[in-house]
Structure 1
Amino acid sequence: MPHARIIAARHWVLACNLTLFAIGAAAPASHAAPCMFAELGEGRVSDIVDARSFRLSDGREVRLAGLEAPPDEYLTAAVEALGTLLRDRDIVLRGDDDAPDRYGRQRAFAFLTGGDQPVQIGLLKAGAVLRGIDLADRDCAASLGLAEDEARTARRGLWNIRTVIKNAESPDDILARAGLFTVVEGKVLSVRQTGTTTYLNFARSWTRGFAVIIPKRMMAVLEGAGINVKSLANRQVRVRGWIEAQAGPRLELTQAAQIEILSGSDR
């Protein structure tokens, strides 16, 4: 890991902590907040497990819904940010399902007791983590997107490091993220259909360049979200998801929340 990146990642820990302190200390808003799902229980945070998970004093492990961890070089800072916000604090858990995931964690939104804003919003506004794609509720997903947009515009936290978003014109750089959640931006050069699959190609060489895979089942989903796939050629987009290593780097769309049109949108 380059020494300069270590210094940069550590440098913004203080900025994150100050932002999170301000958010945590703020008085609850008077209007109804998004992501206010059914209550799933409450507890006191005893340990921070990783950048998006923590353990309650009764032994339950909670995985924060709607978030993904930042690149490896920023993980330590992200864990510290989560600890600043939640360690030794009383919280209320909310969600649409309290069934544990395959790792035994409860997936939920966490609210500081007495607050009506999920801690996910605070972490995203501080630039400590990335917005995930695991939310079906559009209003809730939109609120997380706005929080991330705010941090990116202000260049807070990890958004102060320009290499967080990968350039679609640098396939080798994207391939290095194979198997990892990654954000990529670039211009769609062509939209091609092969059989039941549609491809957004970001390079002339479709075998080596970066491409987004859109299964047939996703076409109606994207249209329902106001995205005309065939019109994406020559438009600048931002996509996020897990990178697959095939002939070139690939990213499959499974939800509309994975793609944002940055220019020339007719949405």
Structure 2
Amino acid sequence: MVRSLFYGFAALFAILAGPVLAQDRVAGERGEVVDVTASGGLIVVTDGGERLNVRIAGIRQPDEGEPLHAEANDALRRLAAGQDVALSYEGELRRDRYERAVAFVAFPGGRDLATSLVTEGWAMVYTTPEARSGAANLLALEQAARDAGLGLWADPAYGVRSADPNTLALYLDSVQIVEGRVISVGETRDRIYLNFGFDYRSDFTVSIAVGDTDGFLDAGIDLADMQDRIVRVRGWLHRRNGPMIVIDHPERLEIVGP
């Protein structure tokens, strides 16, 4: 790509306040996408010549072996391969344990890669504590894509699951989106539990560390007031007594009904 395209990035960054981008994102490396990875990432050669493995912040695409992996990877390649990009970061985390850059990715003019993938239905919103800005907009785009049956959402493998523990038992040890009514809220010294049935030993439960509750309150979510609310939660579904998802920040919990 012609390097003059980066004048567009300079103009974009000049509009935003100083070195800090919209929603407290900090400007990072710039470069060209020379390849995409099978895990839904990018290989970016930076202006400084570094070959950088990038994990796109705020979303998740199918892993190898999961349904529609090839189609989602093709969409990523179509959108990103050969493009000049600007990376930005939220918070302190710049690299994950695999030394991948955990970054938001923008094209010249400011178009956001995660937004494009979610809009087309080829990515699920999947925030982390250090990469969650813009989640509300992405969740709305995901819902529109799901309603239209676009991309991943055309396959039942990516459906929103009911909180029925017998159904969820089929999907243990995978990332899932689960929706249901909170029957009760329990608390121990260390954790808050949202119970979706009358027997915590077998029913679906959402677990939150007490130390994370302030973040939910800051987002206007009082976990103690969740009884009888219909909520949607996303995360790694595992077995602890019954099926359980552990969450640690409010963007993983949507209140969808009274």
TM-score range, shorter chain: 0.7 to 0.9
1:159–1:140 Cα change, 3 Å? same
Three-state SS of the structure 2 residue aligned to 1:95 is: strand
Three-state SS of the structure 2 residue aligned to 1:120 is: helix
1:41–1:139 Cα change, 3 Å? closer
1:187-224 superposed Cα distances (whole Å, 9 cap, x missing partner): 11222223442211112222111101122112322222
- 1:109: which partner in 2? 104
Q: Is the 8 A contact 1:65 1:135 kept in 2?
A: no
Partner Cα distance (1:172, 1:44) in 2: 47
1:142-171 superposed Cα distances (whole Å, 9 cap, x missing partner): 2322322231233321223345212111x2
The correspondence of residues 179-218 of structure 1 with structure 2, limited to 5 A, is 179-218=173-212
Partner Cα distance (1:98, 1:206) in 2: 35
Match of residue 145, structure 1, among 139, 143, 157: 139
1:1-26 superposed Cα distances (whole Å, 9 cap, x missing partner): xxxxxxxxxxxxxxxxxxxxxxxxxx
Runs of 4+ in 1 over 4 A off after TM superposition: 31-36, 135-139
- Identical-pair percentage: 27
Q: Structure 1 residue 45 and structure 2 residue 33: aligned?
A: yes
- 1:67: which partner in 2? 59
Q: Which amino acid aligns with 1:166?
A: R
Partner Cα distance (2:111, 2:192) in 1: 38
Q: Is the 8 A contact 2:215 2:249 kept in 1?
A: yes
Partner Cα distance (1:163, 1:193) in 2: 33
Q: Which runs of 5 or more residues in structure 2 are unaligned?
A: 1-11
Per the TM alignment, residue 111 of structure 1 is displaced from its structure 2 partner at its CA by 1.3
CA RMSD of aligned residues (A): 2.5
Greater strand content: 2
- 1:251: which partner in 2? 245
1:24-74 superposed Cα distances (whole Å, 9 cap, x missing partner): xxxx9xx97955833212222121113530112452111101112247112
Q: Is the 8 A contact 1:209 1:249 kept in 2?
A: yes
When the two structures are aligned, how many residues end up with a matched partner? 233
- 2:5: which partner in 1? none
Q: Which runs of 5 or more residues in structure 1 are unaligned?
A: 1-27
Q: Is the 8 A contact 1:34 1:139 kept in 2?
A: no
1:109-149 superposed Cα distances (whole Å, 9 cap, x missing partner): 1112x221210000011111111121557652223223222
**TM-score, normalization by structure 2:** 0.80
Partner Cα distance (2:69, 2:198) in 1: 35
Match of residue 74, structure 2, among 72, 77, 80: 80
Partner Cα distance (2:166, 2:22) in 1: 39
- 2:7: which partner in 1? none
